[in-house]
Structure formats: structure tokens, C-alpha cells
Amino acid sequence: MSAGMDHSARRERLIARLPDLGIEALLVTRLPNVRYLSGFTGSNAQVLLTADSAVLLTDGRYGEQAGKEAPAFDLHVYTGAMIPALGEALGRLEVGLLGFEAAGVTYQTFRRLQGIEGLRLEPTEGEVEGLRWVKDRDEIRLIEAAQALADEAFTGILAKLVESRTEQEVALDLEQSMRALGADAVAFDSIVAFGENAAEPHHRPGPRPLRPGDLVKLDFGCVVQGYASDMTRTVAFGQPDPELREIHDLVRRAQQAGIDALRAGATGAQVDGAARAVIADAGHGERFGHSLGHGIGLEVHEGPTLRKESEDRLPEGTVVTVEPGVYLPGRGGVRIEDMVEVTEGGSRPLPGSSRDLIVV
């Protein structure tokens, strides 16, 4: 269980939603949501919440761990399938109408739930995820810790950008560095792209060697106690093509416009539009083909979203990425990404690394 996390307050907010949802209990099966509500960090568990009970179900591998990490729960450890254990708990609690996470239950599990005698089912969408938008101070602290490690790894990797080293080698160095600095894991497969490969927004590192004049795009992050960081920097190995230097400056200005537009109450579309307009006005609108950003926390990609059509209204305390990019096929590309906390009057970028073009 993460030290200092107030999981009970989170459960209370969710339980207060049950009457509005018209259900007697909610079954939570998505593991990030299980962790958010309970503190349990294993790979198999389900949370069952009613107005006056909290049940954690898991298999025999995790009985001891669950007892330590989620001591406030009524723990059910099963040795066979989950459904019979759940049916027993539902019967004991006299639950007749069960809500479940539509995004977390497979069709196979749904059919098995239908087989529980006397049980009616009601799908729910985004209930726990909506609570997770707003981070408490403990969550912000862990996201900042993950960002600090990413910043340190970025500083260290610059000295390892040496001619003829491959994208794969640099990606491995970057990921090993974050682990050596204390990260629990990498947040996602790192993107390392040299030269023309930087024109691919989500390039997979390959054997391409580093050459003078290349732009180097690095998109990476790590995890600390379940919470992720996510940042992108584009640097130059030797003096880059003047147009690519101008593209970097353009993306830097677009990102700042997006950051400046962030504030509590703004919509995702408004923030996306502020950054996108800078790139479009420079004649490169068609080269920015992805959304501006996304929420981040227990998952690398969570709500709210920053994209053209997003009606998500940003609450104070959410953390989002702001990551515009411009990509020129066959030549290279630039993306700059930072995690930013939304505040009442504006925003607070979390990374410490410079966003200016670094030439190594």
C-alpha cells in the first residue's frame, strides 16, 4: 500500500455515487482502479463495494499481500474461479442489482456473471476513472518523483549520444538509467528516433546509427509506486538543418501556447486549439496529426483528453501532458512534451529539463 494514500476517502466518494447509478453494489475489475480504491498492487483482484461494505477478492497467490496492502477490506481468497467466490459474496450481502465496469469485463466474464442466480447487471462507464482525474497531494508527489528520475535520466543520456550508436542502444541506456536511479519500472517502451525516423510520431527504436546533423527524439518515462511520468525532448546531434531548427522553435512556441491556455474550467478542445493554431498559422497544420495531450497518473494514458473535439472540462488538480509535434516525412520531426498540473488560475509544468534546443 502506498504510504499516505487515503483510499477510504476515494471509496466513500464512489459509494456516494451508487444511488445515482441506481445500483446496490459496484464490481471494480480494472486493476488501476482496484489499486486506486484499495492500495492492492497484485496482478489479479476485484473490488466489490456496497453502501456499507468493501470486499477484495483475489487468488491464493496474493492472500498475504492483499491482507497487508488492503487491511480495511473484507478479504476473499479463492482457489478456483472468481465467479463462484463473487457469487457467494453477493449472496451474503444480499445484492440483487450489480453494476460492473463496461471497460473492464470481457464478454466471457459477463456471460458468467449472468449465470449467478437472481442477479441483475448494469454496466457503468468511467466512474472510477472520473475520480482519478483529480490528483491529491500524495499522487502529485509520486508523479513529481517519477518526473525527477526522468529528468535525471535525460541529463545523463546526452553524454551517451555518440556517433554510430544505434537507436536501440540509446533506448536501452535510457531505460536502464531510470531503473538504476530508483524507478520501479519504465512507464512504456521508450521512443528513440534518429534523423528521418523522428518523422514517425511513435517510432520503434531500431538499428539506425546516429549521424552528425540528426535530430534525436526521445519520448520516455518511468513509474514510482504506481504513478508514471511521460516526457519528450528533441535534441540535435551536431548542427541541424536550419529549417528543422525553425521547426523546433515553432513546436516550442506551440507548446507554450497550450500550457498558457491550461487552467481549471478550460476544455480539452480549447487547450488543444491554442497550441494547434500556432502550428497551423506557420503553415504546418497538416504535420501535427495527433492530439495535444492526455491525463496521466496510474496509467500513462487516462482522462481528461486534450484534442480537437474534447469536451472534457479540466478540473483543478489534474495532471495532463502537453505534447505538440511537427513531422516532416523523410527529414525528421520534433515533439516536446511535459506533464503539467492544472491549477485554479493556470498551470504548473512539472519537468525541470530545458525545452530549448540542445545541441550535443
- As given in the structure block, the three cell numbers for residue 142 are 509520486
- CATH label of the domain that carries residue 35: 3.40.350.10
In a domain, 354, yes or no: no
pLDDT of residue 295: 98
- Please tell me whether residues 283 and 162 are part of one structural domain: yes
The single residue listed with the C-alpha cell 535525471 is 152
Tell whether 300 and 328 lie within a shared domain: yes
186 and 106, same structural domain?
A: no
Please tell me whether residues 127 and 151 are part of one structural domain.
no
Length of the chain: 360
- Cell 500524495 belongs to which residue? 138
**Beta-carbon-side half-sphere exposure of residue 17 (alpha carbons within 13 Å):** 16
CA 170 – CA 151 distance, rounded (Å): 16
Same domain, 203 and 245: yes
Q: Which domain does 143 fall in, by range?
A: 137-349
Count the domains in the chain.
Answer: 2
Integer Cα distance of 237 and 219 in angstroms: 16
Report the CATH number that the domain containing residue 273 is assigned in CATH: 3.90.230.10
Nearest one of 260, 273, 271, 280 to 348, comparing CA atoms? 260
Q: What is the pLDDT of residues 142-192, one digit of tens each?
A: 999 999 999 999 999 999 999 999 999 999 999 999 999 999 999 999 999
Do both 263 and 326 map to the same domain?
yes
Give residue 4's pLDDT: 58
- pTM, two decimals, is 0.95
For residue 264, give every residue at least 6 positions away whose Cβ sits within 8 Å of its Cβ, in sequence order, or none: 314, 315, 316, 342, 343, 344, 345
**Are residues 278 and 186 both part of a single domain?**
yes
Is residue 187 domain-shared with residue 303, that is, in the same domain? yes
Q: What is the pLDDT of residue 1?
A: 45
Task: Give the strand pairing for 332-335 and 325-328.
Answer: antiparallel
Do 99 and 148 share a structural domain?
no
Q: Do 84 and 19 lie in a common domain?
A: yes
Q: Clarify whether residues 107 and 229 are in a common domain.
A: no
Residues in the chain with pLDDT < 70?
1-4
Helix, strand, coil percentages (3-state) for the chain, rounded to 5, are 40, 25, 40
Give domain status of residue 356, yes or no: no
The cell numbers describing 37, all together, are 480504491
pLDDT of residue 5: 80
Each residue of 216-246: pLDDT tens digit? 999 999 999 999 999 999 999 999 999 999 9
Residue after which a domain boundary falls, among 103, 132, 161: 132
Same-domain pairing of 286 and 162: yes
